[in-house]
Amino acid sequence: MTQGRNGLNVPNVLIIGAGGVGLACAHKAAQHAVELGDITVASRTKTSADDVVEHVRRRGSLKAGRKLASARVDAMDTSEVARLIRQSRAGIVINVASPFCNLSIQDACLETGAHYIDTAVHEVEGRVNEPPPWYANYEWPRRGLFEQAGVTAILGCGFDPGAVNAFCAWAAKHRFDRIDEIDIMDVNAGHHGRFFATNFDPETNLREILEDVVYWEDGQWKRIPHHSMHREYDFPEVGRHVIYAMGHDEVHSLAVHFKPKRVQFWMGFSEQYLRVFEVLEKLGLLSEQPVEVDGCHVKPLRLLKKLLPDPKSLAPDYSGEVCIGCLIKGIRDGEPGSIFIYSTCDHAACYREIGAQAISYTTAVPAVTAALLIARGDWNVRRMVNVEELDPDPFLELMPRLGIGWQVREEGA
């Protein structure tokens, strides 16, 4: 912690991860460094963290009087992370590294007392199709540790999961006495001009698409093959799109906390994307099982990750918009109702502001919004929570000030 101009302590922030989301987080944290303090960006590769720091400085995002530093860290090594937390005097850690690192970073926060924010549920390399609810496998069993330590841990605070969870909490607080159905829907109607690319870490992105679709309906978890269920929806701003049922983190907490009749996640994919994905799957290039090549053992998915474009490199040529929201049905005063709570974000506008594409931007803004709310005390609950367990009002009031607005469209009963 350091002291601000007003004499109050500011937390200092450690951002772990220097990919596209780490870059966007660094810019947004730097823009709000008056409240957040000094910022350190850390990555497994020091040059990646250096590049992020230079990018932030070059665009002038850092507020005067604050420090911005880079560091190398093995995020799987709790002792290394804890040492860096102490060296940077960080009071808040934003974890946008691989979800394989969640538990080791959480352990470091428990050891040092730094508060914790991540944007995705913990994963274990080589394990897919984990039993639902996913948070119960690794993270929820640690609730007692965080409460005992008095450390805040906010799980899944990107956009989806994250902001969409806050949308559901807002609907439960302000619009419905009972929520019956939640459909989280995500469409990227943008174009980057590449034959095939992922918008964030290819290994994480392709794993989640490849997995079976798990959703909640009529009091039980259901499982279907990927891309086996689809629907159409007419989105604000971006129009009508075909969207496919997909497994996603927020389904696994919303189903537990709201207990609706149904919770599902849907994502839009172009026909070309689906064709290429199918070929990659049939060729075995999405496999995590090592194969021997000239005496070396190589994981096909790891090789594919190296061959695909770096998600950060997509930003300069990206055009079009993203629309992400929640179609929520429920009962208020005995009457059924339905609303779509959503945000849109323009790729080119994000690039003009901070040099990032909209997928990175929409993940980073909620995470930094949460960091500010911890620093202010609104969300400093000193225990482990998912976003929907927190008061949505301060979050949804602050998020537009960081760059992402939101709207409510009445859908009828």
The answer to whether 254 and 261 are in contact (CB under 8 A) is no
Report cis status (omega within 30 of 0) of the bond before 99: no
CA–CA separation, 258 and 305 (whole Å): 37
Q: Are residues 169 and 315 located together in one domain of the fold?
A: yes
Q: Are residues 281 and 338 located together in one domain of the fold?
A: yes
Q: Which residue has the tokens 């996913």?
A: 134
Paired tokens of 229? 């269920």
Task: Identify the CATH number of the domain in which residue 261 sits.
Answer: 3.30.360.10
For residue 229, the Cα-to-chain-centroid distance in whole angstroms is: 24
Paired tokens of 359? 């997928």
Q: Which residue has the tokens 């040099």?
A: 355
The answer to whether 27 and 354 are in contact (CB under 8 A) is yes
Q: Are residues 261 and 341 located together in one domain of the fold?
A: yes
Identify the domain containing residue 43 by its residue range. Answer: 2-160+357-402
CA–CA separation, 22 and 43 (whole Å): 9
Q: Are residues 311 and 362 located together in one domain of the fold?
A: no
Q: Are residues 264 and 156 located together in one domain of the fold?
A: no
Q: Are residues 274 and 181 located together in one domain of the fold?
A: yes
CA–CA separation, 383 and 394 (whole Å): 18
- pLDDT tens, residue order, the chain (413 aa): 554 433 347 899 999 999 999 999 999 999 999 999 999 999 999 999 999 999 999 999 998 789 999 999 999 999 999 999 999 999 999 999 999 999 999 999 999 999 999 999 999 988 889 999 999 999 999 999 999 999 999 999 999 999 999 999 999 999 999 999 999 999 999 889 899 888 878 888 898 899 999 999 999 999 999 999 999 999 999 999 999 999 999 999 999 999 999 999 999 998 999 999 999 999 999 998 999 888 899 899 999 999 999 988 988 999 999 999 999 999 999 999 999 999 999 999 999 999 999 999 999 999 999 999 999 999 999 999 999 999 999 999 999 999 999 999 999 65
Q: Which of 338, 208, 200, 189 is nearest to 265 (CA)?
A: 208
pTM greater than the 0.75 cutoff = yes
Helix (H, G, I), strand (E, B) or coil at 2: strand
Q: Are residues 6 and 95 located together in one domain of the fold?
A: yes
Q: Are residues 199 and 312 located together in one domain of the fold?
A: yes
The answer to whether 183 and 324 are in contact (CB under 8 A) is no
DSSP run (H or E) holding 222: strand 220-224
Number of structural domains the chain divides into? 2
Q: Are residues 153 and 239 located together in one domain of the fold?
A: no
Q: Are residues 61 and 138 located together in one domain of the fold?
A: yes
Report cis status (omega within 30 of 0) of the bond before 133: yes
Q: Are residues 202 and 313 located together in one domain of the fold?
A: yes
The answer to whether 237 and 321 are in contact (CB under 8 A) is yes
Q: Are residues 351 and 361 located together in one domain of the fold?
A: no
CA contacts within 13 A on the Cβ side of 361: 30
Report cis status (omega within 30 of 0) of the bond before 300: no
Task: Identify the CATH number of the domain in which residue 388 sits.
Answer: 3.40.50.720
